[in-house]
């Protein structure tokens, strides 16, 4: 009988236990904020570890915040000290370091390397004066004495030259064309017979040059010219005659005209008195080939003029 009552009691306990548990509400568990974020970090790290194992990538690493007693000052972290603290530091000998807009500035060697890479731009003559130039000129011609196959040595008198030179600047170099006309007279006297001849040259010359600046407004130009010209020589011969027998008379010398080769070397000093206008003076050595019985021309030109730059 005793065994039967014990069995019934056990059966009733096992049967009623689930119903008693269903009637109880689960106990709420309360955690603080730090513990909550720590559990979130653990779950995020576990998920990152599993994703890294699946994809074969590196898992996300957890960076802990810098401790309060680290070497980084509050000023660098963005925290501002109180006003009385600033006054104390400003009055003392050890003030806060001067921080620029960018804390991650390059150190001194890197800054020196950057400074070495800076190239100062120097404006060319083309930048200062313009791309194109136009220079009309007039010149005093000082020719060397010439030679004639029949009349011998011919003394050359002073002459003149005029023309215009135009071209283009390419940085400090120039390329252009010069149109030039020059004239002088030749003379010879033998036994009273006077020979007076003319020497004319009309030439078209291509030029190349280089320009350098002496100052902000003064420039020095070196030039070389090669081209062709049309040379003319002719004149008259005066015979004194014989007093009482033959009166003096004049005989014309047949003119000779020929295409000749010309060359010149020039040195020019140019002064810019405005942005577009300048005045210049220079020397030019000019030569031309023979014209039949007339020897070659060797002449020195001292020229002046005005120039336009645009």
Q: What is the pLDDT of residue 204?
A: 98
- pLDDT higher than threshold 60 for residue 27: no
**Strand 218-239 versus strand 193-213 pairing type:** antiparallel
Q: What pLDDT is attached to residue 25? A: 47
Answer with the residue of higher pLDDT: 263 or 59: 263
What is the structure's pLDDT at 148? 92
In this predicted structure, what is the pLDDT of residue 187? 95
Residue 9 domain-assigned? no
Query: Which of 54-58, 245-249, 276-280 has the weakest average pLDDT?
Result: 54-58
When comparing pLDDT for 112 and 305, which is higher? Answer: 305
In a domain, 243, yes or no: yes
- pTM score over 0.85: no
Give me the pLDDT at residue 13, please: 46
E strand residue ranges, 113-214: 132-143, 146-148, 152-156, 159-170, 173-190, 193-213
Assess whether pLDDT exceeds 70 at residue 287: yes
Residue pair 219/212 in contact by the 8 Å Cβ criterion: yes
Return the CATH number at 302. 2.40.160.20
In a domain, 88, yes or no: no
Average pLDDT of 168-188?
A: 96
pLDDT of residue 63: 60
Confidence of residue 38 (pLDDT cuts 50, 70, 90): confident
Give the count of beta carbons closer than 10 Å to the beta carbon of residue 105.
11
Beta bridge partners of 177: 166, 206
Split at pLDDT 50, 70, 90, the class of 61 is low
In-domain check, residue 167: yes
pLDDT tens, residue by residue, 179-233: 999 999 999 988 889 999 999 999 999 999 999 999 999 999 999 999 999 999 9
What is the residue range of 226's domain? Answer: 136-309
Cα gap 279→268, rounded to integer Å: 10
**Looking at the domain assignment, is residue 175 inside a domain?**
yes
Quick one: pLDDT at residue 120?
Answer: 67
Is the sign of the CA dihedral 147, 152, 157, 160 positive or negative?
negative
For residues 207 and 263, give the distance between their C-alpha atoms in angstroms, rounded to a whole number. 10
- Give the bridge partners for 196, in sequence order: 187, 236
| DSSP character at residue 34 | H
58, 46, 103: which is closest to 77 by C-alpha? 103
Residue 91 within a domain: no
Average pLDDT over residues 37-60: 77
As a whole number of angstroms, the distance between CA 230 and CA 179 comes to 12
Q: Which of 287, 279, 278, 285 is nearest to 302 (CA)?
A: 285
The answer to whether residue 54 is domain-embedded is no
Main-chain dihedrals φ then ψ at residue 296, nearest 5 degrees = -65, 160
The domain total for the chain is 1
CB 224 within 8 A of CB 178: no
Section 237-242 average pLDDT: 87
Q: In angstroms, rounded to a whole number, what is the distance separating the alpha carbons of residues 261 and 289?
A: 6
Residues in the chain: 310
Inside any domain, residue 105: no
């Amino acid at each position: 009988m005793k065994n039967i009552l014990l069995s019934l009691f056990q059966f009733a306990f096992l049967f009623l236990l689930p119903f008693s548990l269903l009637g109880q509400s689960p106990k709420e568990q309360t955690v603080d904020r730090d513990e909550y974020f720590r559990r979130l970090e653990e779950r995020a790290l576990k998920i990152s570890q599993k994703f890294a194992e699946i994809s074969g990538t590196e898992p996300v690493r957890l960076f802990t915040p810098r401790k309060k007693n680290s070497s980084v000052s509050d000023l660098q972290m963005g925290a501002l000290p109180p006003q009385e603290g600033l006054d104390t530091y400003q009055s003392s000998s050890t003030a806060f370091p001067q921080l620029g807009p960018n804390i991650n500035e390059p150190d001194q060697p890197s800054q020196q390397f950057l400074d070495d890479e800076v190239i100062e731009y120097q404006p060319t003559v083309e930048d200062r004066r313009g791309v194109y130039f136009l220079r009309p000129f007039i010149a005093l011609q000082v020719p060397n004495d010439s030679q004639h196959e029949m009349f011998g040595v011919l003394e050359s008198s002073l002459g003149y030259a005029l023309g215009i030179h135009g071209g283009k600047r390419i940085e400090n170099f120039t390329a252009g064309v010069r149109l030039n006309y020059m004239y002088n007279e030749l003379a010879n006297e033998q036994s009273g017979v006077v020979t007076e001849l003319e020497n004319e040259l009309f030439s078209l010359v291509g030029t190349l040059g280089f320009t350098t600046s002496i100052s902000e407004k003064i420039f020095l130009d070196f030039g070389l010219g090669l081209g062709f010209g049309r040379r003319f020589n002719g004149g008259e011969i005066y015979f004194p005659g014989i007093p009482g027998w033959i009166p003096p008379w004049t005989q014309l010398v047949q003119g000779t005209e020929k295409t000749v080769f010309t060359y010149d070397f020039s040195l020019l000093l140019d002064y810019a008195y405005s942005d577009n206008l300048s005045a210049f003076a220079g020397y030019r050595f000019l030569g031309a080939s023979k014209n039949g019985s007339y020897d070659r021309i060797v002449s020195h030109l001292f020229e002046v003029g005005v120039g336009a730059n645009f």
